Amino acid sequence: MSIRPINFRASCVKTLSAVEAEPTKSNQHEFNGVAQLKNLFGSEKTHMTVSFSTRGLDDICLSGMTWYEARESHATRSEYRFYFQSNAVMERAREGDNIIIGFDLSNNIHCELITQGASGYTATTGWVVQTP
């Protein structure tokens, strides 16, 4: 599936930091829920199965994901998180690679890793909304 392009109806992309990508730096398995991700997932706690893939490779890992409010007990502070289970695709991720998170035309969620030097790779600063 990842050899063929994923047609996203809504997505955002980010260049990964060392803390987000490398287990030796952190073993968080999560991304901070910035406004761009909140626009995708809303404010309700959500559990979904996600297809993780690497652009240009024929690898797909299905992994559980939870979108949640980490500070729901704080009335004045909000902090959303995108938590995912460990998987082979994210184990290959390195600082400087890109991750695209989004919904396809059938409303399935995908996380596509784009390694540095791969076709379509462009470094970003923070999360960037992609338009189809």
Question: φ and ψ at 76, to 5 degrees?
Answer: -110, -5
What local confidence, expressed as pLDDT, does residue 21 receive? 87
- Residue type at 117 in one-letter notation: G
The domain defined by 8-130 carries CATH number 1.10.10.10: no
CA distance 85 to 79: 19
pLDDT digits (tens, 9 = 90+) for 56-108: 998 899 999 999 988 766 767 778 889 999 999 999 999 999 999 999 999 99
Picking from 95, 14, 35, 88, the residue whose alpha carbon sits closest to that of residue 57 is 88
Considering the entire predicted model, what is its pTM? 0.87
H helix or E strand, kind and range, residue 11:
strand 8-15
CA distance 77 to 52: 31
CA distance 89 to 53: 6
The residue to which tokens 């400087």 are assigned: 96
Domain boundaries, the chain: 8-130
Yes or no: say if 44 and 107 are a contact pair by the CB < 8 Å rule. Answer: no
The residue to which tokens 């396809």 are assigned: 104
What local confidence, expressed as pLDDT, does residue 78 receive? 78
pLDDT digits (tens, 9 = 90+) for 110-127: 999 999 999 889 999 888
